[in-house]
């Protein structure tokens, strides 16, 4: 069975844009269960002949080689936009659907659309911080008067890029901080609003209630949980880890955060337990899965506040697995690699049964 991994044309086998270890392990795990991994981009498909030119892994040499193959039976969508998204990716996804080729892990909408989906579900709504689309300075001024802290996040942002944190101070002052900026600025509320408008430059942003976070060894942390569908097509919690901040604003590994085992951090807190987080993560995965049937995995981010309350922050439909590598949990890392292959086998079986 061939499972295709759909990627951007700029993704080449020299480093696979940070996915070199993941793709190699995907190929190795696939070999053990009768799955051949084929990495391809839209322009490498020959639709009339139902064939594709794709990179396949040669374990003997440890190299990726280009090979002509039949069109994959299932497609694992790992296409990340790099700059402007070419029209052929939309045509590719549409044609795969027309040909009856199952594809899993599509984009699931913006951060705000995900928030709206979960806010409509009573079981998940109580874990959400207040969130609204930022469209005018009055919203910011009004919320800063109520909240202890506010975050502005790009609606379609990734890896912590573009995030701004605003913390009210005495005498109508606001402390403004940006990701990857060492020092913040103390401004009047009016000055902070003007600065925010200048920084976002008309792009769509979320305005989100800032939660007062619990700390571990004097640093704030968040929790990344990986939920994946298994060989029966059911959601399972594969594992999780804590990400301890290095810059004080976000806990993203791409902005310098440190990965620590979930048990280590939560045991030190003495409140929320890993099982509690996993239970809520399962609820959220199932809720989002109902509205997005093509989902096969989700990276789910949580925060624990100073009162020991658990909050859900955001979902990533194309999550990484580096946290398990960083904490030295090889067994969970390999399970996280293997599960998309097992889910692909499930989808292939459903296709044959039609």
Mean pLDDT of 297-324: 93
Q: Does residue 285 sit in the same domain as residue 253?
A: yes
- Checking if the pLDDT of 73 tops 80, the result is yes
257: left (phi over 0), alpha (psi -120 to 50) or beta: beta
- Checking if the pLDDT of 294 tops 80, the result is yes
List, for residues 102-158, the tens digit of each pLDDT value.
Answer: 999 988 888 999 999 999 999 999 999 999 998 766 778 888 888 888 999 988 876
* CATH for 344: 3.30.470.20
- Checking if the pLDDT of 345 tops 70, the result is yes
Q: Does residue 96 sit in the same domain as residue 153?
A: no
Question: Is 23 inside any structural domain?
Answer: yes
pLDDT at position 82, please?
A: 67
Q: Which of 227, 265, 267 is nearest to 244 (CA)?
A: 265
More confident residue, 275 or 256: 275
Last residue within a domain, chosen from 145, 179, 209: 209
Q: Does residue 62 sit in the same domain as residue 161?
A: no
Q: Does residue 261 sit in the same domain as residue 313?
A: yes
- Checking if the pLDDT of 354 tops 70, the result is no
Query: Band of the pLDDT at 343, cuts 50, 70, 90?
Result: very high
Question: Is 91 inside any structural domain?
Answer: yes
Contacts of 351 (CB under 8 A, 6+ apart): 73, 74, 100, 102
pLDDT at position 123, please?
A: 94
Secondary structure string (H, E, C) spanning 190-206: HHHHHHHHHHHCCCCEE
Please give the Cα distance from 177 to 184 (Å, whole number).
4
Question: Is 157 inside any structural domain?
Answer: yes
pLDDT at position 184, please?
A: 86
DSSP SS3 for 260: strand
Share of the chain above pLDDT 90, in %: 63
List, for residues 159-212, the tens digit of each pLDDT value.
Answer: 677 889 999 898 889 999 887 777 789 999 889 988 988 888 878 899 999 998
Query: Band of the pLDDT at 286, cuts 50, 70, 90?
Result: very high
List, for residues 257-276, the tens digit of each pLDDT value.
Answer: 889 999 999 998 888 999 99
pLDDT at position 109, please?
A: 85
Query: Band of the pLDDT at 84, cuts 50, 70, 90?
Result: low
Share of the chain above pLDDT 70, in %: 94
Last residue within a domain, chosen from 145, 180, 209: 209
**Whether 131 contacts 155, CB under 8 Å:** no
Q: Does residue 121 sit in the same domain as residue 141?
A: no
- Checking if the pLDDT of 230 tops 70, the result is yes
Domain extent for 51: 2-104
Question: Is 235 inside any structural domain?
Answer: yes
Q: Does residue 89 sit in the same domain as residue 187?
A: no
Query: Band of the pLDDT at 231, cuts 50, 70, 90?
Result: very high
pLDDT at position 18, please?
A: 78
Last residue within a domain, chosen from 209, 243, 258: 209
Question: Is 171 inside any structural domain?
Answer: yes
- Checking if the pLDDT of 1 tops 90, the result is yes
Query: Band of the pLDDT at 308, cuts 50, 70, 90?
Result: very high
Q: Does residue 163 sit in the same domain as residue 240?
A: no
Domain count, the chain: 3
pLDDT at position 142, please?
A: 85
- Phi and psi of 25, rounded to 5°? -65, -35
Alpha-carbon Rg for the chain in angstroms: 21
Question: Is 156 inside any structural domain?
Answer: yes
Q: Does residue 55 sit in the same domain as residue 161?
A: no
Q: Does residue 7 sit in the same domain as residue 87?
A: yes
- Checking if the pLDDT of 353 tops 70, the result is no
DSSP string, 93-157: HHHHHHTT--EE------HHHHHHHHHTSHHHHTTPPPEEEE--HHHHHHHHTT-S-EEEEETT-
Q: Does residue 290 sit in the same domain as residue 219?
A: yes
* Residue with token string 């910011």: 140
Mean pLDDT of 71-78: 96
- Average pLDDT of the chain, as a whole number: 90
- Checking if the pLDDT of 36 tops 70, the result is yes
Question: Is 218 inside any structural domain?
Answer: yes
- Checking if the pLDDT of 45 tops 80, the result is yes
- Checking if the pLDDT of 248 tops 80, the result is no
Question: Is 354 inside any structural domain?
Answer: no
pLDDT at position 254, please?
A: 65
- Checking if the pLDDT of 49 tops 70, the result is yes
Q: Of all residues in the chain, what percent are helix, strand and coil, respectively (each to 5)? A: 35, 30, 35
* CATH for 42: 3.40.50.20
Q: Does residue 50 sit in the same domain as residue 145?
A: no
Q: Does residue 26 sit in the same domain as residue 118?
A: no
């Amino acid at each position: 069975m061939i499972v295709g991994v759909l990627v951007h044309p700029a993704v080449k086998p020299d480093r696979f844009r940070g996915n070199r270890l993941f793709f190699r392990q995907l190929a190795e795990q696939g070999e053990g269960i009768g799955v051949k991994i084929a990495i391809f981009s839209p322009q490498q498909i020959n639709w009339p002949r139902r064939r594709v030119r794709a990179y396949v892994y040669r374990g003997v040499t440890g190299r990726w080689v280009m090979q002509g193959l039949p069109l994959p039976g299932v497609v694992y969508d790992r296409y990340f936009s790099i700059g402007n998204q070419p029209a052929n990716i939309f045509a590719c996804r549409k044609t795969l659907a027309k040909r009856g080729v199952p594809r899993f892990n599509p984009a699931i909408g913006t951060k705000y659309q995900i928030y709206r989906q979960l806010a409509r579900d009573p079981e998940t709504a109580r874990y959400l911080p207040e969130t609204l689309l930022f469209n005018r300075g009055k919203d910011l001024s009004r919320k800063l008067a109520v909240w202890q802290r506010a975050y502005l996040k790009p609606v379609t942002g990734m890896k912590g890029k573009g995030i701004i944190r605003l913390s009210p101070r005495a005498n109508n002052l606001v402390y403004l901080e940006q990701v990857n900026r060492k020092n913040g600025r103390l401004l009047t509320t009016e000055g902070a609003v003007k600065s925010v408008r200048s920084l976002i430059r008309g792009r769509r942003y979320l305005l989100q209630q800032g939660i007062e976070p619990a700390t571990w060894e004097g640093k704030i942390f968040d929790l990344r949980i990986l939920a994946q569908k298994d060989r029966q097509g059911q959601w399972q919690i594969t594992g999780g880890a804590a990400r301890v901040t290095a810059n004080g604003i976000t806990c993203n590994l791409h902005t310098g955060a440190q990965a620590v085992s979930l048990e280590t951090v939560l045991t030190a807190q003495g409140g929320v337990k890993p099982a509690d987080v996993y239970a809520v993560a399962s609820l959220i995965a199932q809720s989002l899965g109902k509205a997005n049937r093509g989902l096969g995995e989700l990276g789910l981010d949580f925060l624990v506040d100073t009162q020991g309350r658990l909050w859900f922050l955001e979902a990533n439909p194309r999550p990484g697995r580096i946290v398990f590598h960083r904490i030295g949990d090889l067994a969970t890392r390999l399970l996280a690699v293997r599960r998309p292959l097992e889910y692909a086998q499930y989808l292939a079986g459903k296709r044959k049964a039609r």
